[in-house]
Structure 1
């Protein structure tokens, strides 16, 4: 070990000693925390979780059975308050939304990519978050703008259908996830920058942004920040990836600036008129505490939109198609509704999918059965408060385990079954509010003040993809290679083995 490493280790151990001394003298925690598993000195429950060699959600499921609807875990220097019950989730996020609307401290690696929390998802509850969110809602997802940009989705879906047919003819099947990611990413890039770019360039940007998502998932230094100096290699890798992210997106920002400064004349690359691209509004935005945004902040904000919209929507389409492939009866019911609504050959429009109740039921059941994540993004109380009769410190990470709500047999009949009919007349999901406002029975987009602001846009993309794909093709298992429903955990809950399906053109 080099001398500098020994010095860093010595300093880290000294800091740990000081921290433990403070912990011992002060009692280390406020009174009346929710119950939880006893931990080890300094590391709390962190090593216990690591030694189980299971994903964190399985640990949480077991602790939920033992400690009930709210419990505490001390993960190194981070205190987690885990909330699992529908009633407490609704109370915290909806009824008392402003009290639980902030975010906990970020890790050094995440701060590199958020430029010090200058992002809608990670900003602390306050003026900056309000300004960023208000601008996003006004400029990208208001009904007028969504309608104005419908041609972008039509263009992308037209290429999507041709690509599926070409891939099937060449290899005998299509890989659902990669195709859907590419299509949704192309839509979001065009919405953000007003630009049409080549598929190769889209794939490169998508790949870089996926790396960003994966590198910002929780890792050991997140729980023991005092040891960050020992993880210089990871920090250096994050900085190199950030540079790569800037290199692939800054040219799109600069091209848009030139386009606007030269009069905004639409051309083959810059296809959206002045004011129709999300980035146009960011150029003019005065962000509280930040002023005019620089390239770093602009890259962070557009990356947030592209990453979140691509990953969750593509994942949902893949899970939905898994069930359509394995249950041809559901697929045929959906196809019949599409044909009854628009016919066999007419192009499905955005207003058409709004009238397709069975399509809506299939998508809702996919969100219920396969929520994009088992937790909503971490919350934090604005000030110390209480929940469920327990103290919630302001510096704790409040983690809402929402997946349990969709699996709870007290809320859903036969919760492990995929049954879209539950969302139609007389079903147990017919009156469900996916925003959680009226009650938490499924919250695929979060709930309350920090609900995903683009949930309507993401749902539209899922609906359009499914309707177009089922109208054009019959989806079947690949011979001798049935779909594998095993899931795994990346940024979202994805299929461990990506879905491959055979497609047959529908007869006209």
Structure 2
């Protein structure tokens, strides 16, 4: 270890000792009256206790919930986590008192490299910048006018998607559902964001960089012990190199689009959407509070957020849906019959059709219930000290909402481990609102309240359209050499440990 590293480590230990004596008492009560929780070790709290268990954090949370109840505290290094698992408390915090818990905690140094100081819809602190970015996102991406305006993009991309499915099946004898769907979703989002039709290799590069960004920004040791960040110079250097790659990948698209918007230049013909129809067009003239006009760094951050949030979530949902359809052929046939009754065997399925397909929507909801894209919402923070469940919630703690538990609760769902779409037609899922704003909260796959996923409607539209088209054209059956495996693993979203491979048969 270099001398500089030793000096940093020594200073860090002294600082952590002082910090620990000041606030170690917060776990299990203390002066700040935080919720109870497990007593931790000096300096690092519960951090190494979790690491040494060698299992995913959600399993630790489940054990602690059984011991400490629906709200408890964990001291993870320098970060204090208040974890909330009760549907009632989640609804109170996110919906009834949404503004009180609408901010975000500080980001790690690595995340700040990509967010350019939290200049993004998901990471911005609650305030004028967040309001401006979110309002623009909603207006320019998911308003009814914009959704309809982009119908041709989805139609063109889905035509290519069906051809790609056939080609892969002919070449390999099966289809890798996640792989094919990722490419199509990324293509749609490039069209929508930049108004550009680009080559296959460029699309794959955007997808690859997006995956790398998601992986490098997942929680790591410096997130919980920021004072030790100087000891992780290699990771920070890798993040900066990846940021450079991300800039090199997306800046040409931004510059080409700006030249098209400002001067009508389109020498390669890649700009296919009219001026004002691409998401990035709205960002060129946007005045961001505290920032002014967005530069290329900020434009890359805001545009890439669309890919980070849209690709993995949409394709993960699709993969889990097809797992259930492959395992439950009777459900797949019932869905196919609904599609035929709606548009015929060869009719073109559009947005209006999928909105009216009740069984299709029930299948997607049931898949989201059983296979939520994430077990936690993104971290929240209180905008000022407040109270929840009889405990104090300071502004300097991470408020974590564990949303998966409610979907497995037998007091909320009958036979929660059984995939049964009919529950959303005439059972315990009737009237359930996935945004948590109506009735009893029973599932929140995309969060709730002011920080709910703003792209929810767009993502579900892509899921429904792709699912309906794929089932209309093909029967999906298991690949004998690689049977469907529902084992989960945890990346940016909850995905299959062994990606689904299926055989398709032309109907």
TM-score (norm 2): 0.97
Alpha-carbon offset, residue 380 of structure 1:
0.5
Retained in 1: the 8 A contact 2:473–2:506?
yes
Q: 1:470-504: CA deviations, max 9, x gaps?
A: 00000000123211110100000000000000000
Alpha-carbon offset, residue 265 of structure 1:
6.8
The equivalent residue for 1:390 is 391
The equivalent residue for 1:434 is 434
Retained in 2: the 8 A contact 1:266–1:273?
no
What SS is found at the alignment partner of 2:477?
strand
The equivalent residue for 2:132 is 131
- Segments of structure 1 that go 5 or more residues without pairing to the other structure are none
Alpha-carbon offset, residue 42 of structure 1:
1.1
What SS is found at the alignment partner of 1:386?
strand
Alignment of 1:88-107 (within 5 A): 88-107=89-108
The equivalent residue for 2:260 is 259
Alignment of 1:411-450 (within 5 A): 411-424=412-425, 426-438=426-438, 439-450=440-451
Alpha-carbon offset, residue 306 of structure 1:
1.1
The equivalent residue for 2:367 is 366
Cα distance change of structure 1 residues 428 and 2 upon mapping to structure 2, 3 Å threshold? same
Cα distance change of structure 1 residues 7 and 163 upon mapping to structure 2, 3 Å threshold? same
The equivalent residue for 1:179 is 180
Retained in 1: the 8 A contact 2:45–2:76?
yes
Q: 1:389-439: CA deviations, max 9, x gaps?
A: 111111110000000011111100000111000000x21101100111023
State how far apart, in whole Å, the 2-side matches of 1:6 and 1:435 are.
Answer: 49
The equivalent residue for 2:341 is 340
Retained in 2: the 8 A contact 1:174–1:502?
yes
197-206 or 332-341, which deviates more: 197-206
Retained in 1: the 8 A contact 2:81–2:397?
yes
Q: 1:112-140: CA deviations, max 9, x gaps?
A: 11000000000000000000000111111
Q: 1:422-471: CA deviations, max 9, x gaps?
A: 000x2110110011102321111110000111101100000001000000
The equivalent residue for 2:461 is 460
What SS is found at the alignment partner of 1:488?
strand
Alignment of 1:33-72 (within 5 A): 33-72=34-73
The equivalent residue for 2:169 is 168
Superposed CA RMSD in Å reads: 1.5
The equivalent residue for 2:13 is 13
What SS is found at the alignment partner of 2:422?
helix
State how far apart, in whole Å, the 1-side matches of 2:93 and 2:378 are.
Answer: 14
State how far apart, in whole Å, the 1-side matches of 2:260 and 2:32 are.
Answer: 59
State how far apart, in whole Å, the 2-side matches of 1:30 and 1:204 are.
Answer: 51
Q: 1:2-29: CA deviations, max 9, x gaps?
A: 2222222222223223323444799996
The equivalent residue for 1:315 is 316
What SS is found at the alignment partner of 1:482?
coil
335-344 or 19-28, which deviates more: 19-28
The equivalent residue for 1:351 is 352
State how far apart, in whole Å, the 2-side matches of 1:70 and 1:3 are.
Answer: 43
Cα distance change of structure 1 residues 345 and 77 upon mapping to structure 2, 3 Å threshold? same
State how far apart, in whole Å, the 1-side matches of 2:457 and 2:168 are.
Answer: 30
The equivalent residue for 1:283 is 284
State how far apart, in whole Å, the 2-side matches of 1:385 and 1:338 are.
Answer: 50
Retained in 1: the 8 A contact 2:94–2:449?
yes
State how far apart, in whole Å, the 2-side matches of 1:24 and 1:181 are.
Answer: 45
State how far apart, in whole Å, the 2-side matches of 1:9 and 1:191 are.
Answer: 47
Q: 1:232-265: CA deviations, max 9, x gaps?
A: 1111111111111101000000000111122377
Retained in 1: the 8 A contact 2:26–2:34?
no
The equivalent residue for 1:491 is 492
TM-score (norm 1): 0.97
Cα distance change of structure 1 residues 349 and 26 upon mapping to structure 2, 3 Å threshold? closer
476-485 or 297-306, which deviates more: 476-485
Retained in 1: the 8 A contact 2:380–2:400?
yes
Cα distance change of structure 1 residues 370 and 26 upon mapping to structure 2, 3 Å threshold? closer
State how far apart, in whole Å, the 1-side matches of 2:279 and 2:431 are.
Answer: 34
Q: 1:279-300: CA deviations, max 9, x gaps?
A: 0000000000000001011000
The equivalent residue for 1:451 is 452
Alpha-carbon offset, residue 32 of structure 1:
1.7
Cα distance change of structure 1 residues 388 and 25 upon mapping to structure 2, 3 Å threshold? closer
State how far apart, in whole Å, the 2-side matches of 1:233 and 1:411 are.
Answer: 47
The equivalent residue for 2:379 is 378
State how far apart, in whole Å, the 2-side matches of 1:115 and 1:248 are.
Answer: 17
Alignment partner of 1:117 is 2:118 = yes
State how far apart, in whole Å, the 1-side matches of 2:395 and 2:5 are.
Answer: 34
Alpha-carbon offset, residue 266 of structure 1:
10
- Segments of structure 2 that go 5 or more residues without pairing to the other structure are none
277-286 or 260-269, which deviates more: 260-269
Cα distance change of structure 1 residues 24 and 144 upon mapping to structure 2, 3 Å threshold? closer
